[in-house]
């Protein structure tokens, strides 16, 4: 199993993706530098993952949320933990990237790896 390197929230470069008005259970899918990233509000906490399934590049974040914190890819049903990007079921066997998230001045900020790192 391949695990993506965790992004250190302390050194991440944060990008604003709009107002922090996501209700519990809602998601927002955005594009940052050509990469699709999805932010979820899970029980009041924000989490961000890449919107690219590690099985066959499906739009995983468009899938259904199950068991509170699991996202099920709409293409072939692989599940990932929204909180960590960790893969939970076949046919995927590789985690997807997860990003640190914070709220400042009413805006959601997603942390990307510092340029040149990783």
Span 21-40, contacts to ligand FES by CB under 6 A: none
Tokens standing for residue 23: 């209700």
Q: Does 94 bind ligand FES (CB under 6 A)?
A: no
Tokens 């909180």 correspond to 83
Q: Does 66 bind ligand FES (CB under 6 A)?
A: no
What residues pair up with 32 in beta bridges, in sequence order?
A: 35
DSSP 31-49: EETTEEEEEEEETTEEEEE
Q: Does 61 bind ligand FES (CB under 6 A)?
A: no
Q: Does 46 bind ligand FES (CB under 6 A)?
A: no
Q: Does 112 bind ligand FES (CB under 6 A)?
A: no
Return the range that interacts with ligand FES (CB under 6 A); candidates 7-15, 33-41, 49-57, 94-102. 49-57
Phi-psi region of 9 (alpha: psi -120 to 50; beta: other; left: phi over 0): alpha
Among 17, 46, 49, 53, binds ligand FES (CB under 6 A): 53
What residues pair up with 71 in beta bridges, in sequence order?
A: 65, 80
Among 38, 60, 61, 71, binds ligand FES (CB under 6 A): 60
């Amino acid at each position: 199993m391949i695990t993506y390197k965790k992004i250190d929230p302390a050194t991440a470069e944060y990008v604003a993706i709009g107002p922090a008005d996501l209700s519990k259970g809602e998601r927002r899918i955005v594009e940052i530098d050509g990469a699709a990233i999805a932010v979820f509000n899970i029980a009041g906490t924000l989490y961000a993952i890449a919107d690219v399934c590690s099985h066959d590049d499906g739009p995983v974040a468009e899938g259904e949320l199950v068991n509170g914190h699991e996202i099920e890819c709409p293409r072939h049903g692989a599940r990932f933990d929204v909180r960590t990007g960790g893969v939970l079921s076949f046919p995927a066997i590789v985690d997807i990237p997860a990003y640190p998230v914070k709220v400042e001045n009413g805006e959601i900020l997603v942390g990307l790896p510092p340029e040149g790192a990783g």
